[in-house]
Amino acid sequence: MAFKHAVVLICDKNFFLPTFASALSARRHLTRGDVLIRILVTDADAAWCERLGAAGRAKTISIMPAPVSEIAALQPHHRDRYLPVAALSRFWVDRFLEPEIERFLYLDGDVLVDGDLDEIFSAIMPAGGMLAASDTVCLCLNELGPGPKREQAYLQSLGLDNGEYFNSGVILASRDGWRAIADDAVAFLIANGEVCRSSDQSALNAVAGDRLGRLSLRWNYQSDHMTLLDPRTIGIKPVIWHFTGAPKPWHCADWPWDESFNWAYRDAEKLLDGLGIANPRPSAAQLDAGLAHRRRARKRLQWLYPWRRLTRRKAIRAQLAG
């Protein structure tokens, strides 16, 4: 059967191990035979990818080099200090897919697919458009205080209204529309880099317009959502968990992500054992800072702003049902 759709992930060599884990989790939850899974490695050559090819082929995952020369021009406009500039290569993932691919599901390398992935490829989307789920920024937009005010100002700088902002870690895109969306986003980033605090995500949000359709949070359940509500407690299991922020569960299996979320990462470690692929650990200071941030946010919502916990959970429930 010819491939009509693709799951595509892009990374540099430094982040290959968790990206491979994300691809493995996608493979486990795909039964339809018309979906290609491909990992693109921005700083690898053909020999490096071939060295890992057996591990990929064992799970029918394609690994290939993906040099993107345009990235150099984006470096001066890249503002997200938590994201390597190589991540902006996602603008050009369509370049590395066969012409017959009609739709592709882009996944960040810090997600875990934990449910049936088949149905998303039949989702209805705008002509020449894309689908994505809301970002956690949207949870506080109707609140008072300096934090919500900053977020509102951020969205306004992108020309957005409250509630329109999406997370770019999971995107289903039509092949015939992605090039125009991505080109518009690149142009916006170059012209308005100072307001694009999340670089590619900011720029994509700024230009998507009516080419964007919404995914339920079941398809992109992020860390800040999980700190407020574990959806399994209300009978909902997300298809895709997204380990935004730090620490990632493979670095520190702590609230809200325990060791049960590491099964794909552990499988990846075994498959790549002996191939010289490592995942550098953050420093102890970085881990401590990430854990402290989450615990501080939890304490604030429990004791200082308990009503925010209630209203944000209500918003999450609505977005899970959407």
Q: For the residues 297-312, what does the mean pLDDT come to?
A: 88
Q: How confident is the model at residue 311 (pLDDT cuts 50, 70, 90)?
A: very high
Would you call 83 helix, strand, or coil by DSSP? coil
DSSP-assigned letter for residue 302: I
Q: At what angle do helices 16-28 and 263-271 cross, to 10 degrees?
A: 110
Q: For the residues 83-94, what does the mean pLDDT come to?
A: 91
DSSP string, 11-43: E-GGGHHHHHHHHHHHHHT---TTEEEEEEETT
Does this model's pTM top 0.85? My answer is yes
Q: Report the alpha-carbon distance of residue 219 to residue 241 in Å, rounded.
A: 8
Q: Can you give the pLDDT at residue 56?
A: 96
For 89, the domain range is 5-321
CATH number where 231 lies: 3.90.550.10
pLDDT tens per residue, range 21-39: 999 999 999 999 999 999 9
Q: Report the alpha-carbon distance of residue 200 to residue 186 in Å, rounded.
A: 8
Q: Can you give the pLDDT at residue 1?
A: 62
Please tell me the total count of domains within the chain.
Answer: 1
